[in-house]
Structure 1
Amino acid sequence: MTDSSIDQSEYDHRAVRRDFVFGELHRAELLPDPVAQLQGWLTAAQAAGNFDPTAMCLSTASAAGRPSSRYVLLKHLDARGLCFYTDSRSRKGRELAENPHAALAFYWPETDRQVRVTGRIERLPDSDAEAYFQQRPIKSRMAAAASEQSTPIADRSVLEARFREIAERYPEGDVPRNPAWGGYRLVPEEWEFWQGRPSRLHDRFVYLPDADQPGAWRIQRLMP
């Protein structure tokens, strides 16, 4: 039942739209390596003015199949997959422990491009997590030490008090990494590159493992 006193028209977004006019994508332009293709699009997004091109939506699911999504930052990628870092005690960390399959999605409105990647998740070695943790700004390390991510807290003042305590305990910034804070790699099983086009006749291409050539990918155009 809805409250008739509320003007529902102010929540109606069906008329909000724009056309996609920034580019087009042809099969001949696609690189055989999806990692190189993604890196090229990341570089283009940054050049087009996107101030957070490595932001990606990470979707996970519990053992029961209930999904959840949030944005994380891509930190490095290579032929093995796409890597990010987080607290394993967070909701995403708990779900990845229960169900080690996930999906990533990038979207850059400046270029009308989207990339989706699905695959299995593996933990990065502690040595990788430690190396990246020590590269982070001091206050980011302090925040990671002060927060047990996704745990309920009474109010912000409690969190800020924990942060001050960490700062006082480690004034030189030598904050130890909690073993719960670590890295993950999504090992791709499928990639999709999407380019917005006018009249919603978008270009979509999927990369799938090539059964005839281990380590290679076959590329297929999809209807929009």
Structure 2
Amino acid sequence: MGPQHVTPEAAAALAASDYVIAARKSDADGLLAIRRAVVEPFGLAIVAVDDPPRDRDDPADYPAAVAAWHAARVAAYASVLRARGGSAAFLVWGDPSLYDSSIRIVAALAAELGVDFEVIPGISAPQLLAARHRIVLHPVGAPVHVTTGRRLPEALASGQTNIVIMLLSRLPLDGLADWTIWWGANLGTPSEALVSGRVADVVPAIEAARAAAKEAAGWVMDLALLRAPEASS
């Protein structure tokens, strides 16, 4: 999640790499600064590749829109790898197994170029959220449901009462006034922000903290654990 969370295994992989490929989402992409801080001890250059545009306004065919974006990323990265050769590393924000498509993209890239790749596990955002708030992600013997902000209504309709929400673009908390929320943004970075409490009591504090984190870093990535009153124990 930040330079301090690079594991010995990840450090060895970076030390064996020739450069890092990273998507550049804008001219002032604050996430590139975090990536530079991660690779600085290894003396690696970051090759920034302009990220292809993507329809983020809830397109009618969301899977098709994502597939097209992934294909465009594969083409852009393949061009770099063909030109530079060597061993490239991709830095994934958090854990590549949770709501991140880097593995899918790199697998397609490897198939196209006829090369191999390795995945190094990282510190996940839910793991760090739990540590920062000093909590367990679920009540005793109970499950935790992990989903996205886009699909929170589905989780609630299906009766889920203990939910980790990732990829938040807003706070869809209508009707959850008595639930408890543990929220965090930009975890592991200097602009990290944390808020917890009864939803009805802390929504203004979350909105203010989210705005402050975005102002400080130029970007914001947040997530939350939501728990119904009857699930607390």
Query: Normalising to structure 2: TM-score of the pair?
Result: 0.22
The higher radius of gyration belongs to 1
Richer in strand (by share): 1
Richer in helix (by share): 2
**Larger relative CO (CA 8 A, sep 6+): 1 or 2?**
1
